[in-house]
Amino acid sequence: MKPLDKDIILSQFTQRFGGPAAWVVRAPGRVNLIGEHTDYNDGFVLPLAIDRAVWIALRRRPDHRVAVYSVDYRQDGAFDLDRLENEKSGWLEYVKGTAWSLEESGLRLAGWEGVLQGDVPLGAGLSSSAALEMAAARAFTAAAELPWDPKPMALLGQKAENRWVGVNCGIMDQLISAAGKADHALLIDCRSLETEAVPFPPGTAVAVLDTSTRRGLVDSAYNERRAQCEAAARFFQVKALRDVTRQRFDREADGLDDVTRRRARHVIGENDRTVEAADAMRRGDAALLGQLMNQSHESLRDDYEVSNDALNVMVECARRHPGCFGARMTGAGFGGCAVALIDAQAAADFVQRTADAYEKQTGLHSAVYVCRATNGAEVV
């Protein structure tokens, strides 16, 4: 698929509404390099905003109506800002939920009409939903001529997803979609929400490897993992596992049952690895970053037990390529995507050979995207 750009979305707008659009906004999907299942433990994550995004072209309306055409669903949707009703499903709820959340925070919004189109694959673990929320938030702030501040907007997007759409996600997806920086990953402290942009080691690229398997039991397994982490935090008498050092864990963890101990060991080790990975990036050390990603996968597979066969095979196939520094599953697990750090010069060969090897070994289809780190939500 040809990547979306400003011209494409502008011509969609003109076809639909006749006249020109006043603004074009985009908000990217994301992939997490390292720091998995750490967000709800008040820990660290290291995602990048990718060059696949949700785009909206829009112009203001004189009334309080929001009218959106979804190019991907070939569907019109509309609602009134003064009478927001939750219809419980469908793409429009992400836009409406964002309006609800912004209005709840005291912002006064204006009506607009626009077209919506994206090239973040849906449900693949690249967070098309957060991209849509942040694109909607950027569109609402543009139309109402409100200032754009990525952090509070990310929190409002998360609130829309938690409370309007009803998905219990952390802050990572919206924050990286709102605040990403080109050619950098973002180290996020999920407790303080402090962020630091860290550059990619020179000559490296990021590949996202979709296993084409999809999470089935992910919600119940996710809730179970969260409960286990909370139990471990109670055992250590801390607010969250973020507050337990590796040294303390090694001294005291014998008092935990086997499963809870392994869950805690993943989270505590993963936090350290994530901080170390950011440091490796600052020093341009691709080899160390790759090793840390490999260790993260082993920990998610063996201690946290959220990988699946397809992800394990994909990771093995990726690592077999000489241009691969490291690879791991990314996202909540039980299917979806792996992520690899690769030598940019070898990217085309890596894509071909890894996809071939995976398909041969599993009989499953795969999709591999080489990504560039882009800016977060913006008017373009």
Note the residues at the interface with ligand ADP (CB under 6 A): 54, 70, 72-73, 91, 94, 116-118, 120, 122-129, 132
Task: Report, in Å, the least distance between residue 169 CB and Mg ion.
Answer: 7
Spatial separation of the C-alpha atoms in residues 279 and 265, rounded to whole Å = 21
The residue (of 124 and 187) whose beta carbon lies closer to ligand ADP is 124
| 176 CA to centre of own chain | 7
Q: Kindly compute the dihedral angle of the four CA atoms of residues 205, 209, 214, 220, in this order, to the nearest 10 degrees.
A: -40
Task: Using CB atoms within 10 Å of the CB of residue 151, give its burial: 0 to 12 exposed, 13 to 18 middle, 19+ buried.
Answer: middle
Task: Report, in Å, the least distance between residue 72 CB and ligand ADP.
Answer: 4
- In the list Mg ion, ligand ADP, none, the entry touching 54 (Cβ below 5 to 8 angstroms by class) is ligand ADP
Task: Report, in Å, the least distance between residue 121 CB and ligand ADP.
Answer: 7
Sequence-ordered list of residues with C-beta below 8 angstroms from that of 209, at least 6 positions apart, any chain: 314, 318, 327, 337, 338, 339, 340, 354, 355, 358, 366, 367, 368
Spatial separation of the C-alpha atoms in residues 331 and 350, rounded to whole Å = 22
- In the list Mg ion, ligand ADP, none, the entry touching 70 (Cβ below 5 to 8 angstroms by class) is ligand ADP
Which residue from 294, 292, 245 is spatially nearest to 268, judged by alpha carbons?
245
- In the list Mg ion, ligand ADP, none, the entry touching 40 (Cβ below 5 to 8 angstroms by class) is none
The residue (of 73 and 283) whose beta carbon lies closer to ligand ADP is 73
Name the active-site residue from 39, 42, 51, 173.
Answer: 173
The residue (of 54 and 327) whose beta carbon lies closer to ligand ADP is 54
DSSP for 117-174 reads EE-SPTTSSS-HHHHHHHHHHHHHHHHTT----HHHHHHHHHHIIIIII-----SHHH
- In the list ligand ADP, Mg ion, none, the entry touching 274 (Cβ below 5 to 8 angstroms by class) is none
Q: Is 173 a catalytic residue?
A: yes
Q: Which residues bind Mg ion (CB under 5 A)?
A: 129
Task: Report, in Å, the least distance between residue 306 CB and ligand ADP.
Answer: 15
Side chain identity at 121, as an amino acid letter? P
Task: Report, in Å, the least distance between residue 132 CB and Mg ion.
Answer: 9
Task: Report, in Å, the least distance between residue 334 CB and ligand ADP.
Answer: 13
Task: Using CB atoms within 10 Å of the CB of residue 62, give its burial: 0 to 12 exposed, 13 to 18 middle, 19+ buried.
Answer: exposed
- In the list ligand ADP, Mg ion, none, the entry touching 350 (Cβ below 5 to 8 angstroms by class) is none
The residue (of 174 and 295) whose beta carbon lies closer to ligand ADP is 174
Buried b or exposed e, range 194-220, using 16+ CB within 10 angstroms: ebebbebbeebbbbbbbbbbebeebee
The residue (of 201 and 331) whose beta carbon lies closer to ligand ADP is 331
Kindly report the three-state secondary structure assignment for every residue of 255-288: HCCHHHHHHHHHHHHHHHHHHHHHHHHHCCCHHH
The residue (of 129 and 195) whose beta carbon lies closer to Mg ion is 129
Spatial separation of the C-alpha atoms in residues 281 and 116, rounded to whole Å = 35
- In the list Mg ion, ligand ADP, none, the entry touching 259 (Cβ below 5 to 8 angstroms by class) is none
Residue nearest to ligand ADP (CB): 118
Q: Catalytic positions, please?
A: 173
